[in-house]
Structure 1
Amino acid sequence: MHHSTLHTAPPRSAIWLPIIAGLCASLVSIGLARFAYTPLIPSLIQAHWFSASDVVYLGAANLVGYLVGALIGHPLARRVGNATALRLMMAAVTLSFFACGFPLSVSWFFGWRLLSGIAGGAIMVLVAATVLPHVPVNRRGLASGAIFLGIGLGIAASGTLVPPLLSLGLQNTWFGLGLLALMLTAASWFGWPRAVTPAVAVATEHSQQSPTPPALYLLFAQYAFMAAGLVPAMVFLVDFVARGLGAGAHVGALIWVMYGLGAIVGPVSYGFLADKLGARLSIRIVLVVQAITLGLLAISHGFLALALLAVILGSFPPGIVPLALARVHELVPNHHQQQIAWSRATVSFATFQAVSGFAYSALFNASGGQHALLFEVAGGAIVVALLLELALRFMNQTGTCHRAQIA
């Protein structure tokens, strides 16, 4: 027995190469493609590339693309294979950075921001399914944390690279991001694992479809409300500090670096938490902390308080990904059905993220730029995510009591 496990374990380097490729993919497609836009918002307005209301809606273009990408990821991969699909999507993001260096029109810009979002969504549904089957089960929380650490590194890079790049001008900033994306795409090109043999995939495809447990629907709903809760800080945090509190772009950029630090710590620590405490309890703890943080953000003005809150908020968007993924693995044993469940979870997340992206933008413009209001609404969404679980538990208990009475 012991001999066979030793025999089948792949060498360490074979496990790490795909994880590093996955990290590069999440760094380029979400870390940079989405999050480097946030610290660019004040500059896009000041350089008169676009009006303030246009800039906000252009930010939402990436979120809409993300939803489209989550829907087309698996069909695309079935056509060309996972590794090719991932390479294509990384190339598309890289191209979009260079294209955004030319502010030809709002629709041109919207189209390229949309494409970068599509690539991000497709990569999000494919990357774990491509890499994790090659990782031992007891390390999967940590491994998925490492993959999605790319998002955090991208956020941190956007905070540290964008301000110095901006001194070279807005166009060169986009080109600089494009160059970084190009290097990471090249670095990951040969790191993707070879596909799992089709025979295995076909065998699981025809295995009996087990009914979806209610807890999985609960997870989809919770994940959706988490998406709604993370959008305002993700899109408006820099603008809130720079323009809303009047602290200026420099302090705004510093706070974004703190958000980036949180985003680096988030995935690996949340993934580790899932391995240790189980995903369900971990999700509950994280939601409580986030709800409190958003409430405090709405009333905080001091730099230290904002910096600390930014770290906690930053840990959330990339951190809940390995948590939700671990929860899917807990609830759904079959690998093929895990992939379906994960893409459904990503679609529900992406839907709420896109819809709330536009809703918050509209609310922001309608309220005359009230940032605090957005953070309060976001806190409310996180509280709803928490209450959903209590509701399901209550329904389960009453259901059990009812069945007991009948018996």
Structure 2
Amino acid sequence: MQSVAVNRSATASFSLWRATFSGAAASLIGIGLARFAYTPLLPAIIGAHWFPASTAAYLGAANLGGYLIGALIAGSLARRAKASFVLRALMLIATVAFVACAAPVSFLWFFVWRLASGVSGGALMVLVAPTILSHVPPSRRGFVSGGIFTGIGLGIAASGTIVPILLRYGVTAAWLGLAIVSLLLTIAAWNGWPDEPPAVHTAPAAHAHAHTRNFPVLGVRALYVEYALNAVALVPHMIFLVDFVARGLGKGLDAGAQYWVLYGLGAIVGPLLCGHLADRTGFGPALRVARIIQIVAVAIPVFGLGSIGLMISSVVVGAFTPGIVPLALGRVNELLAHHPGAVKETWSRATTAFAVMQALAAYGLSFVFSATGGDYVVLFAIGAAALIVAQAVDLFVALKAT
């Protein structure tokens, strides 16, 4: 009875809106700024002779490598300290990394701090939403998770708007400007986290529940595959959209930047719209609808539907770049409704699968692009095909479960 009273007291003191803001701030810092702000900074870093082009590319990869590490160690961090302490520490690490990158001390120095920012982002991606959503009624989880991951979309939009403005004052000023934004967001989010004790570790989730009746092993494994394939589908637009418009269509860099702004605008509203859809239909049906829409949007460049079609494609794929995240997380919660203790571990593995396939797809599609003599159409076709396979896997598992 005493534990029930404590839980009720914790729920009563929990502010849904403050927690949602804190989650959005964390995703904005850890993913939105730490990853996507580097894209417009890269040419400036090379132009300022901080690092040569080949070296600077490795520094970009350092963040992706750190992201994988962060996703893998997030569960261990959560088991050793309170969630609120871990989340605050991760946001501070990302903030310090921005400051450290404001001076090109050495390649190793820069690499370490880009790696640290990636670790922070990966761990935040795994821990933020489950920490908050465990206190949220199921009927509100779609909207709240959408609000949390809106931060990613804001980061994508900021990469094409705020960062170029900061760069007018120099590369160092741009990094310090990002650090100030990150610090202010960290302070604003500081007291918004629900205070949870460290998780009790008995065994890895998959092993602890594998023999428990009704544990949806097949559904969870299928979700890993579907989520990873969705990562592949997003890569053509994330990496090649601007280049496709600028060089493939011969419209120039200014036009390419305009389509990237549309991509960013879609990324801002995508998580909220996806979350709202999931609250109405459930996360499973919402994911199927999302994949159908993505198949069409990713394939539009294949059929050459003109500027209007490409604008629609940019906005829609931009919306699902962060929007698919709350849908996948919500599906994890649905599948593990009777095994809440397995949610964080399962989400960590899903995040890792997504990150691995996104990195592999980035390198793989770059190879395909080179091997085909710069054929952009093949890249978008591969992206659409990945979504078709993901949809087939989902429908197969659904039929098998009936």
Fold match (TM-score > 0.5):
yes
User: Once structures 1 and 2 are overlaid, which stretch shifts more, 237-246 or 142-151?
Assistant: 237-246
Instruction: Work out the CA distance in 2 between the residues paired with 1:368 and 1:54.
Output: 25
For 2:253 and 2:113, how far apart are their aligned partners in 1?
26
Q: How many residues align?
A: 391
Query: Aligned equivalents of 2:271 and 2:89: distance in 1?
Result: 25
Could you give the per-residue CA deviations for residues 128-175 of structure 1, whole angstroms, max 9, x where no partner exists? 121112222211111111111111122122222022222223332222
User: 2:244 and 2:110 mapped to 1: Cα distance?
Assistant: 24
Q: Compared with structure 1, are the counterparts of its residues 160 and 140 closer, same or farther at alpha carbon in structure 2 (3 Å cutoff)?
A: same
Worse overlay, 145-154 or 290-299: 290-299
Match of residue 196 from structure 2: 195
Note the 1:132-211 alignment, pairs <5 A. Answer: 132-196=133-197, 209-210=212-213, 211=215
Conserved in 1, the CA contact under 8 Å of 2:82 and 2:197? no
1:181-219 Cα deviation digits (max 9, x unpaired): 1211121122211115879x98xx988844443122111
**Take 1:142 and 1:272, find their aligned partners in 2: how far apart are those partners?**
5
**Superposed displacement of residue 29, structure 1:** 0.5
1:343 to 1:32, Cα distance in 2 relative to 1, 3 A: same
1:403 aligns with none
Offset from partner CA, 1:69-101 (integer Å, 9 cap, x none)? 110011012222211211121122222223333
Summarize deviations over 1:317-376 as a string: whole Å, max 9, x none.
211111111111221122112222222211221221222233334445555655444333
Check 1:209–1:143 CA distance in 2 against 1; reply closer, same or farther (3 A cut): same
Matched, 1:341 2:346: yes
Query: Which residue number corresponds to residue 271 of structure 1?
Result: 275
Partners of 1:358 and 1:57 in 2: how far apart?
Answer: 13
Question: Residue 288 of structure 1 corresponds to which residue in structure 2?
Answer: 292
Contact preservation (8 Å) 1:38, 1:234: no
Instruction: Give the 3-state SS of the residue equivalent to 1:191 in structure 2.
Output: coil
Structure 1 residues 324 and 39 mapped into 2: Cα distance closer, same or farther (>3 Å)?
same
- Shifted more, 290-299 versus 218-227: the winner is 290-299
Aligned residue for 1:134, secondary structure, equals: coil
What is the distance in 2 between the residues matched to 1:47 and 1:146?
37
Aligned to 2:131: 130
1 CA distance for matches of 2:48 and 2:310?
27
What stretches of structure 1 of length at least 5 have no aligned partner?
A: 401-407
Secondary structure, aligned partner of 1:315 = helix
Matched AA of 2:280: K
TM-score, normalised via structure 2 length: 0.86
User: Which residue of structure 1 aligns with residue 122 of structure 2?
Assistant: 121
Which range is displaced more, 373-382 or 49-58? 49-58
Give the aligned partner of residue 405 of structure 1.
none
Could you tell me which amino acid in structure 2 is paired with residue 187 of structure 1?
A
Distance 1:350 1:166, change over 3 A: same
In structure 1, the partner of 2:320 is 316
CA drift of 1:283 comes to: 1.0
- Counterpart residue number, 1:354: 359
- How far apart are the structure 1 equivalents of 2:255 and 2:212? 53
Give the C-alpha shift of residue 23 in structure 1: 0.8
Alpha-carbon separation, structure 2, partners of 1:12 and 1:298? 52
1:404 corresponds to which residue? Answer: none
TM-score by length of 1: 0.85
Amino acid of the residue matched to residue 381 of structure 2?
Answer: E
Give the corresponding residue for 1:94.
95
In the aligned structure 1, how far is the partner of 2:297 from the partner of 2:161? 24
Conservation of the 8 A alpha-carbon contact between 2:242 and 2:256: yes
For 2:227, the aligned partner's letter is Y
Structure 2 residue matching 1:192: 3-state secondary structure: coil
CA deviation vs aligned residue, 1:21-71 (integer Å, no higher than 9, x gap): 111000111111112223334444555555555555543332222111110
Shift of 1:178: 1.9
For the residues of structure 2 that align with 1:190 and 1:320, how far apart are their CA atoms? 28
- Look up the SS of the partner of 1:193 in the other structure: coil
2:266 equivalent in structure 1: 262
Equivalent in the alignment of 2:379: 374
Determine helix, strand or coil for the equivalent of 1:271. helix
1:227 equivalent to 2:228? Answer no
Specify which of 384, 392, 397 is matched with residue 392 of structure 1: 397
Deviation per CA, 1:249-285: give whole Å up to 9, x if none: 4433332221111111111111111111121221111
- Residues 38 and 236 of structure 1 are in contact (CA less than 8 Å); yes or no, is this contact kept in structure 2? no
Please provide the CA RMSD for this pair: 3.1
Q: What SS does structure 2 have at the residue aligned with 1:151?
A: helix
Give ranges in structure 2 of 5+ residues lacking alignment. Answer: none
Residue identity matched to 1:382 = L
Distance 1:198 1:111, change over 3 A: closer
Deviation at 1:299, TM superposition (A): 5.4
Identity of aligned residues (%): 48
C-alpha contact 1:26 1:151 (8 A) present in aligned 2: yes
Give 3-state SS (helix, strand or coil) of 2:161's partner: helix
